[in-house]
Amino acid sequence: MRAALWFMSLFALAVGGAWLVAHNIGTVTLYWPPYRVDVSLNLVLLALVLVVVALAVVQRAVLAVLAMPKQAKQWRQQQKERAAYGALLDALTHFMAGRYVRSRKAAQLAVEKEAAYQQEEDARLSHASALRTLAHLTAADAAHALQDRAAREQHAQAAQTAIDQAAPTLRQTLQEGVDLRAARWALNDRDAAGSLNLLEAMPSALGRRVVALRMRLKAARLAGQPDKALETALLLVKHKAFSPDVAGSLVRGLLQDWLQRVHEPQAVAAIWRKLGSAERQRSELVVACADRWLALGGDAVVALQWLETVWFAWAQNPSRELPTQSAQLALSLEHALTSCAAADTRDWLAKLETAQRAQPRHAALQYVVGVLCLHHQLWGKAQTHLQAAVVQLQAPLKARAWQRLAQMAEHRGDQEAAMAAWKAAAQAQ
């Protein structure tokens, strides 16, 4: 549409000009004694237009000639700027390829070219501080890979100096990058305490980022601080930094590591009190605390109180837990329930039977009900529940269910059924 309007305007201008020239009969008389010259007005107008065009062309030519030294200087500066950025790209490329010596040389070359460029008059390199910082950081990374700590610290200090000269809009981002690099270097040097100190000194917003949390987790594990490692792992799980399987295994392993370092029930209770409400809803953590509490001779009633925070959700929704976690929760419930006196678990028997009737296909729950019935010497109910559950159970619950059935068969003197059950238990393991 715009092109059509332009064509229409040009056609109208051409028509108007042709009409004006055709109907313009005026003349211009020039007196130059003793001469007189009569010239058409159209010719005079054309001459004026040509003179104006010629003057404009001459002016532009003169300005172009006068601007050539400045343009040549700008071109040289641009070439030097491109050389500095090119050297930085080479340094990054070599570092990614594992050529650390070449990477450090290219980074140093980028710093030298940027410094030479800044010495020129009217030199204005965009993001000069960022270029220097990245070049020094790349050189420091390469020196770190080459185990040259002196060069690494030298380049890190130079990067910090460049950050101090950067614009306020870039200073924070560059500083965060240097801080994270320093923490990673300390961690790679197996200086767990130094890495943790650097991470703790970071602003809270930076310390909550996934990359910082991952380093804190590694440093805490390296420093032998399972409490801090577990706290960090829970934050990473909240940020969905791990898959569900990996997250459950990691958190359970860290808590078990922490629990293995304590040797008194009171210490386990202290760990339990440190867990928040969200952590107390995680079955793998509750099971680990309850199992360690019972292993150290703690009161089974207390373990049941801990397990009560997760068993109801597990009973109502079997798919809520992974198969491994479901089996661990069932085993922990079995251990705690059978460690109590029968009189102390009557309420549990009623609650578990009610939950099992609501979820008749929950094999693990039915197994726990059968074991508790056996603990109360309700032989018929125990036999019914265990026989129904053993068909759907997987190891290790399947093997334990067959063992319970074998013990019940031996108790009633049915040696043939007992042998068959013991054989099935061995095959299920």
Question: pLDDT tens, 56-90?
Answer: 999 999 988 888 888 887 788 788 888 888 999 99
Higher pLDDT, 148 or 322: 148
> Which has the closest alpha carbon to 181: 241, 134, 130, 235?
134
What pLDDT is attached to residue 183? 92
Same domain, 304 and 384: no
Q: What backbone phi and psi angles, to 5 degrees, belong to 27?
A: -130, 160
Q: Considering the domain boundaries, does residue 116 fall inside one?
A: no
Q: Considering the domain boundaries, does residue 383 fall inside one?
A: yes
Is 80 exceeded by the pLDDT of residue 245?
A: no
What pLDDT is attached to residue 97? 93
HEC readout, 325-389:
HHHHHHHHHHHHHHHCCHHHHHHHHHHHHHHHHHCCCCHHHHHHHHHHHHHCCCHHHHHHHHHHH
Residue 37 three-state SS:
strand
pTM for the complete prediction? 0.64
Is 70 exceeded by the pLDDT of residue 125?
A: no
Residues 96-132 as b/e (b if ≥16 CB within 10 A, e otherwise) read eeebbebbbbbbbbbbebbeebeeeeeeebeebbbbb
Which of 332, 358, 389 is the last residue in one of the domains?
A: 332
CATH number at residue 376: 1.25.40.10
CB 385 within 8 A of CB 366: yes
Query: Alpha-carbon distance 191 to 226, whole Å?
Result: 17
Same domain, 326 and 346: no
Which of 332, 354, 370 is the last residue in one of the domains?
A: 332
267 Cβ neighbours under 8 A, 6+ residues apart: none
- In terms of average pLDDT, the best of 44-48, 182-186, 400-404 is 182-186
Q: Considering the domain boundaries, does residue 33 fall inside one?
A: no
> Which has the closest alpha carbon to 143: 187, 109, 104, 170?
104
What pLDDT is attached to residue 323? 62
Query: Alpha-carbon distance 295 to 284, whole Å?
Result: 16
> Which has the closest alpha carbon to 141: 100, 176, 179?
100
Same domain, 346 and 326: no
Task: Provide the 8-state DSSP code for 24.
Answer: -
What pLDDT is attached to residue 140? 93
Q: Which of 72-86, 245-259, 315-329, 412-426 has the lowest mean pLDDT?
A: 315-329
Q: What backbone phi and psi angles, to 5 degrees, belong to 229?
A: -65, -40
Same domain, 283 and 379: no
Same domain, 380 and 406: yes
Q: Considering the domain boundaries, does residue 308 fall inside one?
A: yes
What pLDDT is attached to residue 24? 72
User: What mean pLDDT do residues 326-347 have?
Assistant: 78
What pLDDT is attached to residue 152? 92
CB 135 within 8 A of CB 174: no
Same domain, 315 and 293: yes
Is 70 exceeded by the pLDDT of residue 322?
A: no
162 torsion bin: left (phi>0), alpha (psi -120 to 50), beta (else): alpha
The single-letter code of the amino acid at 320 is R
> Which has the closest alpha carbon to 410: 399, 421, 426?
421
Task: Provide the 8-state DSSP code for 202.
Answer: S
What pLDDT is attached to residue 141? 92
- In terms of average pLDDT, the best of 29-33, 89-93, 259-263 is 89-93
Q: Considering the domain boundaries, does residue 417 fall inside one?
A: yes
Q: Considering the domain boundaries, does residue 293 fall inside one?
A: yes
Same domain, 272 and 359: no
Same domain, 318 and 352: no
The partner residues of 27 in beta bridges, in order of sequence, read: 40
Report the percent of the chain where pLDDT is more than 90: 17
Is 60 exceeded by the pLDDT of residue 253?
A: yes
Higher pLDDT, 372 or 25: 372
Angle, vertex CA 392, rays to CA 373 and CA 366, nearest 5: 25
Q: Considering the domain boundaries, does residue 423 fall inside one?
A: yes
Which of 315, 332, 349 is the last residue in one of the domains?
A: 332
Same domain, 365 and 323: no
Q: Mean pLDDT across the chain, nearest whole number?
A: 83
Same domain, 263 and 319: yes
Count CB neighbours of 8 within 10 A: 10
Find where tokens 């996934």 sit. 210
Task: Provide the 8-state DSSP code for 411.
Answer: H
Q: Considering the domain boundaries, does residue 268 fall inside one?
A: yes
What pLDDT is attached to residue 320? 55
> Which has the closest alpha carbon to 86: 118, 67, 69, 109?
109
- State which residues form the domain around 257: 225-332
200 Cβ neighbours under 8 A, 6+ residues apart: 207
The single-letter code of the amino acid at 307 is L
CB 88 within 8 A of CB 138: yes
Count CB neighbours of 281 within 10 A: 13
Is 70 exceeded by the pLDDT of residue 282?
A: yes
- 127-151 confidence digits (pLDDT tens): 788 888 999 999 999 999 999 999 9
Same domain, 326 and 237: yes
Same domain, 299 and 242: yes
Question: What domain count does the chain have?
Answer: 2
Is 60 exceeded by the pLDDT of residue 335?
A: yes
Q: What backbone phi and psi angles, to 5 degrees, belong to 378?
A: -95, 80
User: What mean pLDDT do residues 185-207 have?
Assistant: 89
